[in-house]
Amino acid sequence: MSSVLEPLYLGFHAALAADGALAALVGTRIYDTIAPPAALFPRITIDSLSEDDFRTFGNPGNDDSWLIHLWDQTANATAERPTNSSRVNVMYSHVERVLNMQRLVIGGISHVVGRTRLINNGLDEDGITRHGVVRYTALSFA
């Protein structure tokens, strides 16, 4: 991660972790890239997607994107009766409330605009795990 990407990631990760409503669903299960094999559901993983530099009125900025993965599986889920999408939708509503169009100031970096968009909420390859994918894009200035 670049010097700008890491503080932004840590900042929005902290904002998600500090949200009481989201914590009521996932607890502390917000992971960088891959969850541990025995991690419980529901959980969130975050992947870095892209980083682009730009200049506005001579000031440097960054346009950065991450994929936020929302995972759920009920204890009695089977391929014939998979986890429904409702808990992933609730997780997304909390992620959207915390990050969408919210201003974060992190370590001297002014995060001016953040946008979330639910890309997908479907069954994973195993046929029982629900997997929502959110794209989070942030424009930031030093």
Query: Is 60 exceeded by the pLDDT of residue 83?
Result: yes
What are the structure tokens assigned to 74, written together? 């009920």
Q: What is the pLDDT of residue 84?
A: 77
Percent of the chain's residues with pLDDT above 90:
38
pLDDT at 17: 94
- For residues 36-63, give the mean pLDDT: 83
* 5-33+44-141 CATH, one of 3.30.2000.30, 3.40.30.10, 3.40.50.2300, 1.10.3720.10: 3.30.2000.30
Q: Are strands 59-72 and 130-141 parallel, antiparallel or unpaired?
A: antiparallel
pTM: predicted TM-score of the whole model, two decimal places: 0.86
User: What does the alpha-carbon distance between residue 9 and residue 107 come to, in Å, rounded to a whole number?
Assistant: 12
Mean pLDDT of all residues belonging to the chain: 85
* Cβ proximity of 15 and 74 under 8 Å: no
| Predicted local confidence at residue 1, as pLDDT | 47
3-state secondary structure of 97: helix
